[in-house]
Amino acid sequence: MCVEGLTDVFIGAANRAIPVRRGKGVRRAVPWWTDECSEAVRARNQAFRALRVSMTQQAVLEYQRLRAMVRRTIKRTKRAAWRRLCSTFGRETRMNDVWRIVKKMRGCGGMRRVPVLVDGDLVARTDGEKANMLAKTLSGEAGGVRLSAECLRQRREVLEERRDLGHKKMVFDSVLDVEFTMLELTLAVKRAGNSSPGQDLMVLRIRRRVVWG
Which has the higher per-residue pLDDT, 99 or 179? 99
Average pLDDT estimate for 168-174: 62
Angle between helices 149-161 and 3-17 (to 10 degrees): 160
Q: What is the mean pLDDT of residues 29-40?
A: 87
Mean pLDDT, range 12-20, rounded to an integer: 65
Angstrom distance (rounded) from CA 173 to CA 132: 41
pTM summary value: 0.44
Q: What is the pLDDT of residues 101-132, one digit of tens each?
A: 788 777 765 545 556 677 777 777 777 777 77
- Give the residue, 123 or 207, on which the prediction is more confident: 123
* Res 90: pLDDT: 82
Distance CA 10, CA 201 (A): 10
Phi and psi at residue 124, to the nearest 5°:
-105, 120
Is the pLDDT higher at 197 or at 31? Answer: 31
Mean pLDDT of the chain: 74
Do residues 150 and 172 touch, judged by C-beta distance below 8 A? no
Q: 152-180 burial string, b = 16+ CB within 10 Å, else e?
A: eebeeeeeeebeeeeeeeeeeeeeebeee
* Pairing state between β 117-119 and 122-124: antiparallel
* Rounded CA Rg of the chain: 22
Please give the angle made by the CA atoms of 188, 193 and 198, to the nearest 5 degrees: 90
Instruction: Give 44's pLDDT tier (boundaries 50, 70, 90).
Output: very high
Instruction: Determine the pLDDT at residue 202.
Output: 66
Q: Is 7 exposed, middle or buried (0-12, 13-18, 19+ CB in 10 A)?
A: middle
